[in-house]
């Protein structure tokens, strides 16, 4: 970027609006920070970080580096997963005294697979204000570039570390129609790919979004059957933090729904409602509870 271009942006009148906005005291500001590229921080986040009395952060070393890069030197308070409840009491006391406190995590939006939710809960329970500042989110960033066409997504976060627990948990997701979003550490990415392949259909599309917004960012989409081979083909692909997106189960089509209802009606002519729903579920693969509700409706209509 040229010096002239930089100057024209810096002098935009809209930047002056920050100084005229309201930043209430006795408020916890939940501030999203960059997930990789430091320049992704918002102008509003920088302004609030310059105003607050202190910053509660996941790792004081990481946040100190971020603040220093922007010439900010507010006091830092360690607020990580092991001390959230305790530090919440300290923050509440300071907020009640009229201070402004910012809450950040190491990267992205606090309280989303990161520490912060317990602090926010405690602050709200104390009757104090919580004000969120939107910004970077690894899950949404990966979704936007995935090309997986779906109006819904299901945020899973990190899977269990143990193989059997991971398999059991994934089995409960087989019928989820929304795009599923997982976070995974580099040393478990192959285990994650293998577990997904063992539970879900091989033709489902999977997206690996690695090192998002960083120098070696990589976003790869392929059928689940090819996932492990792609990861193993290059040692660098097992490095960095991952967002893994999995295509959801196909929605039940109208033809199959009609067939399930036809079978349900036949069974209702001979069986009680509960038994008819159970048998229809076994025959069609449809969910028993949904069939039971429909069976009750059919009985009422008869």
Which pLDDT score is estimated for 3? 41
pLDDT given for residue 245 in this prediction: 98
pLDDT at 302: 67
Mean pLDDT of 247-268: 80
Minimal CA–CA distance to 238: which of 280, 187, 171? 187
What pLDDT does 1 receive? Answer: 39
Cβ count near 114 (within 10 Å): 18
pTM of the predicted protein model: 0.79
Alpha carbon distance 43, 64 (integer Å): 18
Q: Under a CB-based contact definition with an 8 Å cutoff, are residues 196 and 224 in contact?
A: yes
Query: What pLDDT digit, counting tens, does each position of 16-41 carry?
Result: 887 788 999 999 999 999 999 999 99
**For the CA atoms of the chain, what is the radius of gyration?**
25
Find the mean pLDDT for residues 77-86. 93
Helix or strand (DSSP H, E) at 43: helix 43-51
Hunting for tokens 């509440």 — which residue is that? 92
- Cβ-based neighbour number of residue 82 at 10 Å: 10
Beta strands at 242-246 and 205-210: parallel, antiparallel or unpaired: antiparallel
Alpha-carbon gap, residue 53 to 65, rounded angstroms: 18
pLDDT value for 88: 97
pLDDT of residue 128: 98
The single residue listed with the structure tokens 């627990």 is: 165
Spatial distance between the Cα atoms of 82 and 230, rounded to a whole number of angstroms: 37
**What digits encode the pLDDT tens for the residues 131-168?**
999 999 999 999 999 999 999 999 999 999 999 999 99
| In 108-182, alpha helices (H) | 117-125, 138-144, 163-171
């Amino acid at each position: 970027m040229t010096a002239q271009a930089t100057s024209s942006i810096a002098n935009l009148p809209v930047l002056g609006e920050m100084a005229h906005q309201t930043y209430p005291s006795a408020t916890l500001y939940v501030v999203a920070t960059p997930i990789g590229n430091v320049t992704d921080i918002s102008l509003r986040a920088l302004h609030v970080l310059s105003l607050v009395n202190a910053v509660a952060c996941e790792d004081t070393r990481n946040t100190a580096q971020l603040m220093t890069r922007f010439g900010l030197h507010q006091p830092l308070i360690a607020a990580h997963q092991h001390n959230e409840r305790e530090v919440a009491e300290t923050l509440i006391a300071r907020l009640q005294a009229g201070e402004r406190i910012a809450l950040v995590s190491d990267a992205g939006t606090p309280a989303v697979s990161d520490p912060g939710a317990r602090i926010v809960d405690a602050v709200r329970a104390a009757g104090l204000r919580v004000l969120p500042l939107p910004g970077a989110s690894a899950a949404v960033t990966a979704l936007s570039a995935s090309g997986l066409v779906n109006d819904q997504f299901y945020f899973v976060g990190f899977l269990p570390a143990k193989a059997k627990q991971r398999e059991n948990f994934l089995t409960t997701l087989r019928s989820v129609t929304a795009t599923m979003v997982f976070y995974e550490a580099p040393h478990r990415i192959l285990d994650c790919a293998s577990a997904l392949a063992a539970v879900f259909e091989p033709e489902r599309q999977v997206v690996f979004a690695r090192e998002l917004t960083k120098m070696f960012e990589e976003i790869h989409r392929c059928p689940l059957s090819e996932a492990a081979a792609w990861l193993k083909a290059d040692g660098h692909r097992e490095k960095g933090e991952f967002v893994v997106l999995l295509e959801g189960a196909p929605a039940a089509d109208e033809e199959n729904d009609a067939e399930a209802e036809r079978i349900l009606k036949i069974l209702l002519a001979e069986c009680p409602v509960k038994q008819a729903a159970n048998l229809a579920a076994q025959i069609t693969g449809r969910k028993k509870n949904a069939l039971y509700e429909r069976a009750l409706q059919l009985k009422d209509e008869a």
